[in-house]
Chains A and B, each alone.
Chain A
Amino acid sequence: MEESTYRSHLLICCGTDCVSSGCEEIKSALEEELANNDLADEVKVIETGCHGFCEKGPVIIAYPEGVCYCELEPFDMAVIVKEHILNGRIIDELLYQEPLTEESISSYKELDFYSKQQRIALANCGYIDPEEIDDYIANDGYEALGRVLTEMTSQEVIEEVKDAGLRGRGGGGFPTGLKWQFAHDAESDKKYIICNADEGDPGAFMDRSLLEGDPHRIIEGMIIGGYAIGADEGYIYVRAEYPLAIERLQKAIDQAEEYGLLGEDIFSSSFDFKLQIKEGAGAFVCGEETALMASIEGKRGMPNPRPPYPAQKGLWGQPSNINNVETYANIPYIMLNGAEDFSSIGTEGSAGTKVFALTGNINNTGLAEVPMGITMREIIYDVAGGISDGKEFKAVQIGGPSGGCLPKDKLDLPVDYDSLIDAGVMMGSGGLVVMDEDICMVDVARFFLDFTQSESCGKCTPCREGTKRMLEILERITFGEGEEGDIELLKELSQNIKDTSLCGLGQTAPNPVLSTLEYFEDEYKAHIYEQTCPGGICQNLLGDYIINQDCIGCTTCIDTCPVDAVTGEKGEVHEIALDLCIACGTCVDDCPVDAIVQE
């Protein structure tokens, strides 16, 4: 943080989730309260990117103490100014409580959520103002670039990245240094470097948070990459669904240009580099590198067969290198601290850290960066705070639509590229969706197939037709119309689609089905042969709704039932008329004592 005369800094998280939770109102209330107390010159309010603790937003971290206040409301600001700032007392009621021990935690570093994390890519996220280049520079920003451009040859940069053992964070895990070497070795007057920020996996928001929270780090990583491969032009391809990321990135590019960090003769090194943003237009397949380049060219975003690889023939037929947002975010750290430092973090085959978006049935939804090799159990129970509502863990979905589901007995699996592949799933871009006992694994597989099927671009037959056939089978099973032989047919189709699809979308589309078949085949069998859904999700396989003796006669369900199927007197057990009931489940959600169940 910049040296200053302020006695306190209040960092407000203004990532997308916290904006939705109302951080703008918090900020204006806080500023007003500070002004009222003549503190505006003594306390600085800083809007930062995502702190990662989305579950408890809006969040404020108060420095120098590092106290973390969460789930704030505008009226809490008066208390913070009066108690924390003026009286120097920590306000217990606004602190985070550990879900298991109910202990209030004051310093954010002591939160389990943060203590197991190791932040490289996210080092500045939630700590600096992403709209101020000076904040980034004050935290060693662009120092790596200066060193690279004035002291290193392009080959030395590539060697450093190779030695660091950095692998692509977009999912595939291809060694970054090697990729750069291919693009470097291709001969051409014109080369391009591209950043893939088309984060389309459902349940993933790592790239969005990085771009919103520390855009300069990505820019610095890309300029270094451009120097290494010999490109003087770069594109950042961002989803149009991320307006805040685009806005902050554009601001950062403008500032870097103003400071001479982008443009001609950067650091008087005679290296020129320009960078621009390309907005996506809503097509998941554009996350595939050849499709993404077609989209930049203004075409339908459909993949092309490889070889030729982008390193030989990429954007507009020129050698091009394409990496993911998080991959670039690691580059300045490697250049500044050296390959040895970086490769000492994580495991032998998977160096460094990985950022995960933690979602689903857990206590601490949010963004976390952990060293590779940490176990799934540590991520779910320590960082994410365990399963919410006191329920049982059933499965964790990793890697989005290209990944798969892991069961309870894989919880001690180390999370690194190779262990995950061995277990039949993949790292993917970093979405981790935790599921409790009330989830149906066949329905989860159907959900992902439904997604990949509708996002299939239609260019190659195995993906276009194969995923459709698989989806039809899964739908039949969840409707209670599964037949003998369905499981075998799913396995056969999966293998064919994996072997023959044109691009990564099709080649990985069957993974959610294969992994659930491997670990949860019993559930498929229960649907097909016993006509039951163990997770209690597939409506056709569940019995009628009834109200049991726990009913307190509060009449809530009578009021909310859309078809007036519930009757009864206040204070007496109510009843559902089965001929009228449409099994919509509204009453189940509204019942205060969970007295409505399916037989």
Chain B
Amino acid sequence: MDCCTCNESDKSRQEYLAPLQTILDGYEGKEKDLIPILQESQEEYGYLAEEVLKEIASNLDLSFGQVYGVVTFYSQFHLEPRGENVIRICMGTACHVKGGDKILDKLKEELEIDDGETTDDLKFTLEAVACIGACGLAPVIMINDNTHGRLVPKDIPEILTQYE
């Protein structure tokens, strides 16, 4: 998953890493900054490419292994490109009791992908999450920052068209 152009020439690599440099400049370069830096970088690039992680490691004086260890520990971080729209489907207790898995099945069927996968056209990523804390609206999904609640499976196709 090398980031396409960055191995080809130094210049394009530098261009690719320029936004990261700006992010790094905003911190003191200590280990405690690692998670906020990763969060900001992912916000900027959409995911965390190997090149980005290497640069962060060298800036914070950590081994690549340490950085990789942190990235893979937290579910928020991603090593692969993500869809334009991220669908987070709540699998919390309240949603489970109110039929959340039927919503998940419907989403899988509509998007033809499994949990954790991204559609080939990079439009949607499907992600089952533990609880998004909107239990009053169960069963609930979040698409990007929008919450859609009190769902039944047949609501799904129409909701998806709003994002296509």
B105 interface residue per 8 A CB criterion: yes
Cβ distance A207 to chain B, nearest Cβ, rounded Å: 9
B131 touches A202 (CB 8 A): yes
A299 touches B70 (CB 8 A): yes
Q: A357-B135, A435-B97 are in contact. List 17 more A-B contacts (CB 8 A).
A: A16-B133, A16-B134, A21-B137, A201-B131, A205-B133, A280-B74, A281-B39, A281-B77, A284-B130, A298-B32, A298-B70, A359-B94, A359-B138, A360-B93, A361-B97, A361-B98, A447-B93
A57 interface residue per 8 A CB criterion: yes
Q: Restricting to A266-310, which residues have a CB under 8 Å from any CB of B?
A: 278-284, 295-302
Bound-state Cα–Cα, A435 to B97, Å:
7
B38 touches A360 (CB 8 A): no
Stretch with Cβ within 8 A of A (4 or more), from B1-9, B12-20, B79-87, B148-156:
B148-156
A78 interface residue per 8 A CB criterion: no
Bound-state Cα–Cα, A248 to B17, Å:
32
A240 interface residue per 8 A CB criterion: yes
B131 touches A203 (CB 8 A): yes
A202 touches B92 (CB 8 A): yes
Cβ distance B67 to chain A, nearest Cβ, rounded Å: 10
Chain B residue at minimum C-beta to C-beta distance from A207: B133
Chain B residue at minimum C-beta to C-beta distance from A279: B39
For A562, the chain B residues whose CB sits under 8 A away are 109
A283 touches B69 (CB 8 A): no
Per-residue B-contact encoding for A419-439, CB less than 8 Å = 1, 0 else: 000000000000101010001
Q: A560 with B154: in contact, given A200-B131, A298-B34, A360-B93 (CB under 8 Å)?
A: yes
B159 interface residue per 8 A CB criterion: no
Bound-state Cα–Cα, A455 to B128, Å:
13
Task: Tally the A-B contacts, defined by beta carbons under 8 Å.
Answer: 140
B33 interface residue per 8 A CB criterion: yes
B74 touches A400 (CB 8 A): no
Q: Which of A20, A203, A279, A560 is the one whose CB lies under 8 Å from B92?
A: A203
For B146, the chain A residues whose CB sits under 8 A away are 20
Cβ distance B121 to chain A, nearest Cβ, rounded Å: 23
A433 touches B74 (CB 8 A): no
A21 touches B149 (CB 8 A): yes
Tally of B interface residues using CB under 8 Å: 46
A343 interface residue per 8 A CB criterion: no
A298 touches B154 (CB 8 A): no
Interface residues on A, range: 35 or more
A232 interface residue per 8 A CB criterion: no
Q: Restricting to A430-484, which residues have a CB under 8 Å from any CB of B?
A: 431, 433, 435, 439, 447-448, 451, 455, 457
A199 interface residue per 8 A CB criterion: yes
Per-residue B-contact encoding for A2-24, CB less than 8 Å = 1, 0 else: 00000000000000110111000
B75 interface residue per 8 A CB criterion: yes
Cβ distance B95 to chain A, nearest Cβ, rounded Å: 8
Stretch with Cβ within 8 A of B (4 or more), from A252-260, A369-377, A493-501, A582-590:
A582-590
Per-residue B-contact encoding for A190-234, CB less than 8 Å = 1, 0 else: 000000000111111100100000000000000000000000000
Cβ distance B28 to chain A, nearest Cβ, rounded Å: 11
Per-residue B-contact encoding for A563-599, CB less than 8 Å = 1, 0 else: 0000000000000000000001110011000000000
B74 touches A283 (CB 8 A): yes
Q: Restricting to B101-139, which residues have a CB under 8 Å from any CB of A?
A: 102, 105, 109, 129-138
For A451, the chain B residues whose CB sits under 8 A away are 91, 130
Q: Which of A283, A298, A447 is the one whose CB lies under 8 Å from B31?
A: A298
A240 touches B76 (CB 8 A): yes
Bound-state Cα–Cα, A558 to B153, Å:
16
Bound-state Cα–Cα, A386 to B62, Å:
55
For B132, the chain A residues whose CB sits under 8 A away are 241
Q: A279 with B36: in contact, given A20-B149, A431-B93, A433-B93 (CB under 8 Å)?
A: yes
Bound-state Cα–Cα, A356 to B99, Å:
22
Bound-state Cα–Cα, A439 to B98, Å:
10
A365 interface residue per 8 A CB criterion: yes
Q: Which of B34, B91, B145 is the one whose CB lies under 8 Å from A202?
A: B91
A397 interface residue per 8 A CB criterion: yes
A54 interface residue per 8 A CB criterion: yes
Cβ distance A236 to chain B, nearest Cβ, rounded Å: 14
A204 touches B76 (CB 8 A): no
Q: Interface on B for A, CB 8 Å cutoff?
A: 30-36, 38-39, 69-70, 73-77, 91-94, 96-99, 102, 105, 109, 129-138, 140, 145-149, 152-154
Q: Which of A202, A301, A397 is the one whose CB lies under 8 Å from B74?
A: A301
B70 touches A200 (CB 8 A): no
Q: A203 with B134: in contact, given A281-B76, A298-B33 (CB under 8 Å)?
A: no
The 28 sampled A-B contact pairs (Cβ below 8 Å) are A17-B137, A20-B140, A200-B130, A200-B131, A202-B91, A202-B130, A208-B133, A241-B133, A242-B133, A279-B35, A280-B74, A282-B74, A282-B75, A283-B74, A297-B31, A298-B32, A298-B34, A299-B31, A299-B70, A360-B94, A365-B94, A365-B136, A433-B93, A433-B94, A447-B93, A451-B130, A589-B102, A590-B154
Chain B residue at minimum C-beta to C-beta distance from A433: B93
A510 interface residue per 8 A CB criterion: no
Bound-state Cα–Cα, A20 to B39, Å:
25
Bound-state Cα–Cα, A282 to B33, Å:
16
A338 interface residue per 8 A CB criterion: no
A589 touches B32 (CB 8 A): no
Chain A residue at minimum C-beta to C-beta distance from B73: A300
For A586, the chain B residues whose CB sits under 8 A away are 153-154
For A280, the chain B residues whose CB sits under 8 A away are 74, 76
Cβ distance B143 to chain A, nearest Cβ, rounded Å: 11
For A241, the chain B residues whose CB sits under 8 A away are 129, 132-133
Chain A residue at minimum C-beta to C-beta distance from B129: A241
Bound-state Cα–Cα, A447 to B92, Å:
9
Cβ distance B12 to chain A, nearest Cβ, rounded Å: 30
For A243, the chain B residues whose CB sits under 8 A away are 145
Bound-state Cα–Cα, A471 to B19, Å:
44
Cβ distance B24 to chain A, nearest Cβ, rounded Å: 14
Chain B residue at minimum C-beta to C-beta distance from A586: B153
Q: Which of A240, A397, A455 is the one whose CB lies under 8 Å from B130?
A: A455
Cβ distance B77 to chain A, nearest Cβ, rounded Å: 7
For A298, the chain B residues whose CB sits under 8 A away are 30-35, 70
Bound-state Cα–Cα, A49 to B26, Å:
32
A295 touches B94 (CB 8 A): no
A366 interface residue per 8 A CB criterion: yes
Chain A residue at minimum C-beta to C-beta distance from B132: A241
A300 touches B69 (CB 8 A): yes
Bound-state Cα–Cα, A474 to B97, Å:
18
Chain B residue at minimum C-beta to C-beta distance from A388: B98
A55 interface residue per 8 A CB criterion: yes
Complex A-B, nearest 4 residue pairs according to Cβ-Cβ distance, in ascending order: A54-B136, A202-B92, A281-B74, A20-B147
Bound-state Cα–Cα, A584 to B131, Å:
24
With a 10 A CB-CB cut-off, give which of A282, A284, A435 has the most chain B CB atoms: A282
Per-residue B-contact encoding for A46-67, CB less than 8 Å = 1, 0 else: 0000000011010000000000
